[in-house]
Amino acid sequence: MAQPLPFPTDQRLLDVYSLTVSDVAETVGPAVGMVTTDGKGHGSGVVLSQDGLVVTNSHVVGTHKDVHLALPDGQRLAGRVLGADPDTDLAILKVDGGTLPIATLGDSNELKRGHIAIAIGNPLGFESTVTAGVISALGRSLRSPSGRPIEDVIQTDAALNPGNSGGALVSSLGEVVGISTAMIAGAQGICFAVASNTVKLVLSEVLQHGGVRRAYLGVAADTVNLPRRVADAAHVGTQTAAVLHTIVAGGPAARAGVREGDVLLSLDGRPVEGPGPLLRMLTADAIGRRVRLQLLRQGRLLELEVVLTQRPSGPEPR
């Protein structure tokens, strides 16, 4: 009769953890390089294809068009920025070189709190640095360099420092599930990464259109509490809405008669609980569409129709 296996000791669990982290570092590490723009500033970048597609943060490249990527194997590659999206703090680069080591993007929707998170990057100029922790939280919202909120952000306690920006956040399966983007100065163990599914969206848009297209309403808003009687009358079933404090002159909302102080309750029947949910509705497939806005104006419910346009370049109104 077979003897039951003894309960794993702490030491054996630590050995498995160590092997997992080291295996991921050896597998993904070669595809994480140092990105420089003018020989001064630097960040990290992750190679996604053997023909030289690289993802990094938009704040790493700024307004530069030419970049350089230094890989751990000694390759020094020149490249260019194919497209940058400050709204998600992501940029897609194309570097020129031979056969490159690559990393695989995973499905960030499969993540759970407590999963192992391994960060690989170049903090403070120290190449190929590996730190490890866990996924601390999911679905965070983080303000991007453009002022627009980045949705579906991953929070981790894997240590990040300046220079990690644009590096890889990797699962125990060796898949890149996030691109490191920010840390909170003075805090311990609170760092953030843009989810890999957002990276896939930006990559597709940049390759097809040279940038990320979004629909445009031409407003700036804050969140406001919604009285229960108003929510019931409007059939939105939410406790908050978006109060519009800026209407861009000549924009779609202005042309439709939307005014400052209007409270936006819903868009095409979908409740608008605040500026974040509103921005998530303004996707590329809404460009050119006629949509119905349900508004509260001086105690009266009204509806207006607006034709959404493509968002112009430049920062969002605030």
Active site residue 89: yes
- At 13-44, the pLDDT tens digits run 668 889 999 999 999 999 999 999 986 768 99
- At 245-288, the pLDDT tens digits run 999 999 999 999 999 999 999 999 999 998 878 888 998 899 99
pLDDT for the residue numbered 306: 96
pLDDT for the residue numbered 234: 84
Spell out the residues 6+ positions from residue 140 whose beta carbon is closer than 8 angstroms to its own: 152, 153, 154, 155, 192
Active site residue 59: yes
By the 10 Å C-beta count (0-12 exposed, 13-18 middle, 19+ buried), 249 is classed as: exposed
pLDDT for the residue numbered 41: 67
Closest CA to 176 of 289, 263, 55, 264: 55
DSSP H or E run through 196: helix 196-209
**Residue position matching structure tokens 């056969």:** 99
Report the distance separating Cα 258 and Cα 297, nearest Å: 10
Token output for 273: 């609980």
Active site residue 64: no
Cβ(23)–Cβ(145) below 8 Å: no
Query: Choosing from 89, 152, 157, 262, which is the catalytic residue?
Result: 89
Q: What residue ranges of the chain have pLDDT lower than 70?
A: 1-11, 13-14, 39, 41, 185-187, 313-318
Query: Choosing from 42, 44, 58, 59, which is the catalytic residue?
Result: 59
Cβ(37)–Cβ(64) below 8 Å: yes
Which amino acid, residue 119? A
pLDDT for the residue numbered 187: 63
pLDDT for the residue numbered 184: 73
Query: Choosing from 144, 165, 171, 266, which is the catalytic residue?
Result: 165
pLDDT for the residue numbered 143: 82
What's this model's pTM, rounded to 2 decimal places?
0.81
